[in-house]
Amino acid sequence: MSEPGEERQAKDTAPEPPDLAESLREIGATAKASLGATAASARALRTLVAADLSLARSALGRALTFAGVAIVFGASAWLLLMATLVALLRTFGVSWLVAMLIAAGISLAVTIFAGVRAMHYFEHTRLQATRRQLARLGIGELADLMPTPDSAESARAAAEKLREDAEKLPRKPDGIDITPP
């Protein structure tokens, strides 16, 4: 057990709480420091975004230049390859007409394959999943046709149902059809 004198001595050595004005000054200083740190972070982020956009702009120009060079040399290589194929077919006794038709057929087959694949990849540019989720949250032109966020129905299933019933899709005010997500 402690004696009454010891308790009194412990109370005397405890620091006094700061007064209200001092507490408010400390809170104000902390708020100013936080605001300064936030502003510094925002400036650093702005500098980073500006530098990143500058780098992307420079890289885009160079990428387009090299893509153009690749297309030119790829096309010339393809033409030389087809000319070599025609010459090879001629050495086997195939007529000029048939040799040229075979080279053209191969080129047409590659063109069709590349076109189908390009259309497949362009489907990814429609941002289907994002449009479905935005519509589910009530944002966008399809918001009334998609299930609500608290619904157990799948947004993908609702979008597929919309694709099947294309006549249910609303039209924009200018008469353009709305594409389903």
pLDDT, one tens digit per residue, over 68-89 is 999 999 999 999 999 999 999 9
Quote the CA–CA distance of 95 and 77 in Å, as a whole number. Answer: 23
pLDDT band at 48 (very low <50, low <70, confident <90, very high): confident
Report CA Rg, the chain: 36
pLDDT band at 178 (very low <50, low <70, confident <90, very high): low
State yes or no: pLDDT of 129 exceeds 80. Answer: no
Quote the CA–CA distance of 145 and 170 in Å, as a whole number. Answer: 9
Partners of 171 in the beta sheet? 177
- What residues contact residue 136 under an 8 Å CB cut-off, 6+ apart? 146, 147, 148, 149, 155
- The structure tokens listed for 31 are 């708020």
Quote the CA–CA distance of 132 and 108 in Å, as a whole number. Answer: 37
Least confident of 38-42, 129-133, 154-158, 177-181: 177-181
- Average pLDDT, integer, range 90-111: 95
State yes or no: pLDDT of 96 exceeds 80. Answer: yes
Angle separating helix axes 20-91 and 96-122, nearest 10 degrees: 170
- Average pLDDT, integer, range 158-178: 69
> What are the boundaries of each domain within the chain?
21-126, 128-168
Q: What pLDDT, on the 0 to 100 scale, is given for residue 167?
A: 66
Quote the CA–CA distance of 105 and 25 in Å, as a whole number. Answer: 83
Residue for token pair 């935005």: 134
Quote the CA–CA distance of 83 and 103 in Å, as a whole number. Answer: 8
pLDDT band at 150 (very low <50, low <70, confident <90, very high): confident
- Average pLDDT, integer, range 10-18: 69
More confident residue, 173 or 117: 117
- Average pLDDT, integer, range 20-36: 89
pLDDT band at 33 (very low <50, low <70, confident <90, very high): very high
More confident residue, 58 or 132: 58
- Average pLDDT, integer, range 156-163: 78
| pTM score | 0.51
